[in-house]
């Protein structure tokens, strides 16, 4: 009889499939390694098993224990399947930008899921990193795999994904492309392939709002590169230990919109019903290939997961339209709005100025909100007239204190490519203005008035 002893024995040996349509006009052979053929429908199954088995061998995880991890969903699924097979409990922390499908799937396989805010720094006690670490300290016989810094992540792909690609291409691969999040699949696979042929070029796909590309090019961790983005599974506001920049030859950044549209094209034109970051990987890899691939080259792109995780998002027409990804008309972008301002200097109030001085400045300039700065282009907070009024009514003496005593969080930073319809959906009573940073690292503000002007011009 032919059968497997448990579901985790079916992990790996996923197929390579040739792209035929979305790569039209590009030289070379473009192959995608379709990781949704794993039982948990993603490549994270590979490293989930490896992290657990390595922890068992090291005596860190004992029978009856609890696995606690911060995940964007797919790692949680792999860990949950492993836990079911081996008899462990699971608690997962996820950010609130993850799709509801991912959360529902994790709960369906018996995991407890805790949703944490996205727009907080990694060290904030509310972040999904911090909550996972806290639970690990509090719960006896628990194991925190920490996929970002656990090198078993990289080892899993060095031992499985890399050898599979080398064998499947008969050693003819010339370029390897993958999205970079934790870094395990990119760097483990790249390490193996480069050991077989040092001339193989590894292309990392990043997203706007992530630090990877600039860090690779300059060696500088620039916090100004970090701002909220929608694409799930790639990019980071930290530098995971699994990201070995020496194994990544170049990075390409991809916007949320280009990623989402390519993901839908893969389904409609190639029959590949894949997840959101798969669109990032293919769009960015093809951008690189268009200028760099030769006729005899062979590029392999990792497609990490399945489209069922994103039914309510990128495969939902209304959601796509709400975010400006399916445009029924052309909208101006944040870049266009800033250009119309002709480089006007951003008006800010210093964090150490008195509240009364800030009010006088706002009255003089006729504005209802203002960013709070601490040094050039370093925005640390915000003030709005309605919130200042409410605080002064309660405590009039606040007008003689420094701005930092009453300021709110900085206005949300957005990417320069976001269109007016998307920008308008982000402005509300809790976020009355938006911030953008241009190519020269200068900060600009976009108000509701700016959006109205853009819509009528």
* 70-82 per-position pLDDT tens digit: 887 788 999 999 9
> Which listed residue (33, 44, 50, 253) is catalytic?
44
Residue 252 CA to residue 259 CA, distance in Å, equals: 12
Instruction: Read off the pLDDT band of 422 (50, 70, 90).
Output: confident
- What number is the average pLDDT over the span 263-284? 96
The residue written with tokens 């079911």 in the block is: 84
Q: Mean pLDDT: which of 273-277, 419-423, 444-448 is highest?
A: 273-277
What was the pLDDT predicted at 229?
84
Domain spanning 7-39+152-322, CATH architecture: 3-Layer(aba) Sandwich (3.40)
* 231-254 per-position pLDDT tens digit: 888 998 889 999 999 999 999 999
> Where are the chain's structural domains?
7-39+152-322, 44-143, 334-456
pTM above 0.85, yes or no: no
* 42-94 per-position pLDDT tens digit: 999 999 999 999 999 999 999 999 999 988 778 899 999 999 999 999 999 99
What was the pLDDT predicted at 281?
96
The residue written with tokens 């210093």 in the block is: 350
Q: Which residues pair with 114 in a beta bridge?
A: 93
Both structure tokens of 126: 């509310």
Q: Which residues pair with 349 in a beta bridge?
A: 372
Residue 433 CA to residue 137 CA, distance in Å, equals: 39
Do the domains 7-39+152-322 and 44-143 sit in the same CATH topology, yes or no? yes
* 96-140 per-position pLDDT tens digit: 877 788 889 899 999 999 999 887 887 888 888 899 999 999 999
44 is catalytic: yes
Please write down the HEC assignment for all residues of the chain: CCCCCCHHHHCCCCCEEECCCCCCCCCCEEEEEEHHHCCCCECHHHHHHHHHHHHHHCCCCCCCCEEEEECCCHHHHHHHHHHHHHCCEEEEEEECCCCHHHHHHHHHCCCEEEEECCCCCCCCCCCHHHHHHHHHHHCCCEECCCCCCCCHHHHHHHHCHHHHHHHHCCCCCCEEEEECCCCHHHHHHHHHHHHHCCCCEEEEEEECCCCHHHHHHHCCCCHHHCCCCCCCCCCCCCCCCCCCHHHCCEEEEECHHHHHHHHHHHHHHHCCCECHHHHHHHHHHHHHHHHHCCCCCEEEEEECEEHHHHCCCCCCHHHHHHCCCCCCCCCCEHHHHHHHCCCCCCCCEECCCEHHHHHHHHHHHCCCEEEEECCCCCEEEEEEHHHHHHHHHHCHHHHHCEHHHCCECCCEEECCCCEHHHHHHHCECCECEEEEECCCCCEEEEEHHHHHHHHHC
What was the pLDDT predicted at 387?
83
Window from 162-171, 256-265, 338-347, 437-446 with minimum mean pLDDT? 338-347
Q: Which residues pair with 142 in a beta bridge?
A: 66
Q: Give exposure, 157-167, as e/b (b: 16+ Cβ within 10 Å).
A: bbbbbbbbbbe
Domain spanning 334-456, CATH architecture: Roll (3.10)
* 389-399 per-position pLDDT tens digit: 888 888 888 88
CB atoms within 10 A of CB 62: 11
Instruction: Read off the pLDDT band of 151 (50, 70, 90).
Output: very high
Mean pLDDT of the chain: 90
Ramachandran assignment for 324, one of left (phi > 0), alpha (psi -120 to 50 degrees), beta (any other): left
CB atoms within 10 A of CB 372: 25
Instruction: Read off the pLDDT band of 436 (50, 70, 90).
Output: confident
Specify the CATH number for 44-143; select among 3.40.50.1100, 3.40.50.620, 1.10.645.10, 3.20.20.70: 3.40.50.1100
Contact partners, residue 390, CB within 8 Å, separation at least 6: none
CA count, 13 A, side-chain hemisphere, 262: 23
């Amino acid at each position: 009889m032919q059968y497997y002893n448990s579901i985790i024995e079916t992990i790996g040996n996923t197929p390579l499939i040739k792209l035929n349509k979305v790569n039209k006009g590009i030289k070379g052979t473009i192959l995608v390694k379709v990781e949704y053929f794993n039982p948990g429908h993603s490549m994270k199954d590979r490293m989930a098993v490896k992290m657990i088995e390595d922890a068992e061998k090291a005596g860190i995880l004992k029978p009856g224990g609890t696995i606690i991890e911060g995940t964007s969903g797919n790692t949680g699924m792999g860990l949950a399947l492993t836990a079911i097979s081996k008899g462990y409990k699971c608690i997962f922390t996820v950010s609130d930008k993850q799709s509801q499908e991912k959360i529902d799937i994790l709960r369906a396989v018996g995991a407890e899921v805790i949703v944490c805010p996205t727009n907080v720094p990694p060290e904030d006690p509310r972040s999904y990193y911090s909550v996972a670490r806290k639970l690990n300290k509090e719960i006896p016989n628990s194991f925190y795999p920490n996929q970002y810094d656990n090198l078993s992540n990289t080892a899993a792909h060095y031992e499985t994904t890399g050898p599979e690609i080398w064998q499947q291409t008969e050693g003819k691969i010339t370029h390897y492309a993958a999205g970079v999040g934790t870094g395990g699949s990119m760097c483990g696979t790249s390490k193996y392939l480069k050991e077989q042929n040092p001339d193989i070029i590894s292309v990392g796909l990043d997203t706007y709002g992530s630090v990877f590309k600039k860090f690779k090019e300059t060696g500088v961790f620039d916090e100004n590169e970090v701002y909220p983005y929608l694409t799930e599974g790639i990019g980071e506001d930290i530098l995971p230990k699994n990201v070995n920049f020496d194994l990544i030859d170049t990075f390409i950044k991809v916007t949320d919109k280009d990623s989402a549209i390519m993901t839908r094209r893969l389904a409609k034109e190639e029959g590949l019903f894949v997840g959101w970051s798969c669109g990032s990987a293919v769009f960015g890899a093809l951008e690189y290939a268009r200028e760099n691939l030769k006729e005899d080259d062979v590029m392999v792109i990792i497609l990490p997961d399945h489209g069922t995780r994103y039914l309510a998002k990128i495969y939902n027409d209304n959601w796509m339209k709400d975010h400006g990804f399916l445009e029924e008309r052309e909208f101006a972008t944040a870049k266009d709005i800033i250009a119309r301002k002709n480089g006007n200097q951003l008006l800010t109030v210093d964090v150490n100025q008195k509240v009364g001085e800030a009010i006088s400045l706002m009255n003089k300039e006729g504005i209802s909100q203002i960013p709070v700065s601490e040094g050039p282009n370093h925005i640390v907070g915000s003030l709005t007239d309605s919130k200042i009024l409410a605080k002064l009514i309660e405590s009039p003496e606040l007008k003689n204190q420094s701005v930092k005593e009453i300021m709110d969080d900085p206005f949300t930073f957005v990417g320069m490519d976001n269109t007016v319809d998307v920008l308008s959906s982000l402005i509300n009573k809790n976020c009355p203005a938006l911030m953008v940073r241009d190519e020269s690292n200068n900060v600009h503000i976009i108000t509701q008035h700016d959006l109205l002007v853009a819509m009528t011009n």
